[in-house]
Structure 1
Amino acid sequence: MKKIYILLLAMTASIFILSSCNNEWEDEQYEQLVSFKAPPNTEGVNWIYVRYKGNGKVTFNLPLIVSGSTPNTQDRTVRIGLDLDTLSIMNREQFGQRQELFYQLLEQKHYSMPETITIPAGQSQVNIPIEFSLADIDEVEKWVLPLQILDDPGGNYQVNPHKHYKRAMLRIMSFNEYSGMYNATQFQITLEGNTTTPLTIDRHRAYVVDDETVFFYAGTRDVDYLDRKNYKVFVRFTDESLDLQNIKKKLEIWSDNAANNKFELGAEQAYYTVQQEMDEVRPYLKHIYFTLFFGYKFEDYTTAPGLRLKYDTKGTMSMQRDLNTLIPDEDQQIQW
């Protein structure tokens, strides 16, 4: 009798436990926290690409999400603000006292955005519309828009405490038809007196000036040089054909600091070609191939005070831009 009683008691307890846990998956398994969707790279910033428009504005949509295993239960009006403290700390940690390498706060005249945005009940994500106007911006500087989710005194929402979710350090990079990272292994850089071992670099970035113009840094210089602003090489893409097949088109090359760096254009005509083809395996993917041929001379007058190092450059650079034609938004269409 005692064994039967124990057995009945155990069965009753099991039924009670099962009935109490039956709908537990309907409950929230995590905290509903508000976060940006802007994962940083190894330097702590999130690169975003904004189409250059000389006389207009371009809208970039920054995702704002509510985490959790169940739908958002209420309207949440989220406050957004600048995060100047994090920008300052990040610059000091990465670059020390070398202020020429600092990320710079994007000037107010180049963007506008709402101070608050509402995530409606039942939705777990909205986009923050940020309008950029990047005409006349100098791409020598590394522009950043540092954002943070501000706390709500009324408790309408909770901010994700993790720094990479509560902040969005947006590295602003404008683009046009010809900007981007070029393969430069076929572009030779020769130091005067050492013609037997020319220098090469793997990649060279082209920065936007306007719709038809980009600039490179001369020689082996890149964005990590303190004196980079003195060695810009401007390249304008024209429609002037240089052959009967209309394949090669003229490039115009110059420097804005030739009085100091003694920039001279090479003897051979500079030109570029553009070819397109669809991917054989993925028919929605378009490949565009840019090839540039040019050469120039310049003098490095800042590396070693009192000494001018003379360089001669010549060769080709090439870039492949891949477009996903299924995506309507151009900044998302390009496979960066």
Structure 2
Amino acid sequence: MKNIYMLFLAITGLISFVSCNNEWEDEQYEQLVSFKAEPNTQGVAWTYVRYKPDGIVKFDLPIMISGSTPNTQDRVVRIGLDRDTLATLNREQFGHREELFFRELPSSFYSMPETVTIPAGESLVTIPIEFSLADIDEVEKWVLPLQILEDPSGNYQVNPHKHYKRAMLRITPFNTYSGAYSGSFYKIFLEDDKNEALTINEHRAYVVDEETIFFYAGTRDVDFLDRKYYKVFVKFLDDGQLEVWSDNAENNAFKIDDAQPTYYTMEEEWDAVKPYLKHVYITLSFAYSFEDYTAIPGLRVKYSTEGTLSMQRDLNTLIPDEDQQIQW
């Protein structure tokens, strides 16, 4: 009787063991199609694209199928624009201040396929988007709003989560000198009062062409309604000198201050701990004055600046693609 009881327990345990194994072989989650484009606090995903004046730059946007088991069939996924979500995002972020809205990137600046195939056995592919950004005006905040469209035939299911179903790509061209510069050593004075200085932690530089960037003058940034009237252009010359000007000097009375040398330095250094990581340090020195003529109607307020701006760009040299190599 004891032997029969032990045999019963052994058979029961074996059945349980087999059942557990079979259970883990089954799909544990839903197989859903998703973008890989994590948004920031403003609801957009910064997408850096190398600036090329005469060429097309390809950006690969990842798209994947979730699940614990391999994808078992070819799936043709449809991609489309999502203007409704972009409009909702603008209202949530900026209310009725249309000058601050994200703008849909015009179709003349990009091309992409309407579908992408995820082959059987694969769970991750990329959508090739070709950008041509030579004449783009970075005063506007360009966004390419994409969504995964439903499939009437049921060939795939779209992830219902809004951050996976949609990709709000904040298109940002970059060159060697663009990016976020530290303003800790850059002083801004009101009416030449050297006793009271303003500083801004970050001055962002935007692309004009391969050798030229622009900043916004004084304390202005991308969230000022009148920002387009206060662009400061900086061109990098071969001899370490800078050419600095404004395209609106007749109205904002922009003037370079020759009392401070105008130049730039660029140095490279390998990381002491991570031998594959290269640091590039760029320092800019220039000073200027301008008049704010739009903030208060009928009143012109003079500002002057002096000091240096600096940027550190870190490059992971193990990554071959430049847009992915830079650790933004």
Q: Deviations 1:222-274 (Å, cap 9, x if unpaired)?
A: 011111011000000001x3xxxxxxx11001001111111111113411111
- Unmatched 5+ stretches in structure 2: none
Aligned to 1:311: 303
Aligned to 2:316: 324
Q: Deviations 1:90-136 (Å, cap 9, x if unpaired)?
A: 00011001011100000000000000000000000000000000011
Q: Which runs of structure 2 are paired with 1:231-246 in the superposition (5 Å)? A: 231-239=230-238, 241=239
Aligned to 1:254: 245
Aligned to 1:79: 78
Q: 1:69 to 1:264 in 2, by over 3 A?
A: same
Deviation at 1:8, TM superposition (A): 7.0
Whichever residue aligns with residue 202 of structure 1, its letter is N
Measured in 2, the distance between the counterparts of 1:9 and 1:335 equals: 61
Q: Which stretch of structure 1 is more off in the superposition, 108-117 or 278-287?
A: 278-287
Measured in 2, the distance between the counterparts of 1:230 and 1:122 equals: 54
Aligned to 1:267: 258
Is the contact made by 2:75 and 2:156 (CA closer than 8 Å) also made in structure 1?
yes
Q: Which stretch of structure 1 is more off in the superposition, 187-196 or 155-164?
A: 187-196
Deviation at 1:26, TM superposition (A): 1.4
Question: Secondary structure of the equivalent of 1:28?
Answer: coil
Q: TM-score, normalised by structure 1?
A: 0.94
Whichever residue aligns with residue 246 of structure 2, its letter is S
Does residue 168 of structure 1 match 2:160? no
Percent of counterpart pairs with the same letter?
Answer: 69
Aligned to 1:282: 274
Q: 1:128 to 1:8 in 2, by over 3 A?
A: same
Deviation at 1:5, TM superposition (A): 8.4
Measured in 2, the distance between the counterparts of 1:24 and 1:40 equals: 35
Aligned to 1:245: none
Measured in 2, the distance between the counterparts of 1:297 and 1:310 equals: 7
Deviation at 1:296, TM superposition (A): 0.6
- Unmatched 5+ stretches in structure 1: 242-248
Measured in 2, the distance between the counterparts of 1:6 and 1:277 equals: 74
Whichever residue aligns with residue 281 of structure 1, its letter is V
Question: Secondary structure of the equivalent of 1:314?
Answer: strand
Measured in 1, the distance between the counterparts of 2:5 and 2:277 equals: 69
Measured in 2, the distance between the counterparts of 1:183 and 1:18 equals: 61
Q: Which runs of structure 2 are paired with 1:89-104 in the superposition (5 Å)? A: 89-104=88-103
Which of residues 283, 286, 291 is equivalent to 1:294? 286
Question: Secondary structure of the equivalent of 1:23?
Answer: helix
Measured in 2, the distance between the counterparts of 1:291 and 1:95 equals: 34
Deviation at 1:305, TM superposition (A): 0.8
Is the contact made by 2:192 and 2:304 (CA closer than 8 Å) also made in structure 1?
no
Aligned to 1:244: none
Question: Secondary structure of the equivalent of 2:198?
Answer: coil
Question: Secondary structure of the equivalent of 1:171?
Answer: strand
Measured in 2, the distance between the counterparts of 1:30 and 1:169 equals: 26
Measured in 1, the distance between the counterparts of 2:320 and 2:222 equals: 32
Whichever residue aligns with residue 197 of structure 1, its letter is E
Measured in 2, the distance between the counterparts of 1:15 and 1:115 equals: 51
Cα RMSD (Å): 1.6
Question: Secondary structure of the equivalent of 1:130?
Answer: strand
Deviation at 1:17, TM superposition (A): 3.3
Q: Deviations 1:287-328 (Å, cap 9, x if unpaired)?
A: 111110001110001111111110111110011111111111
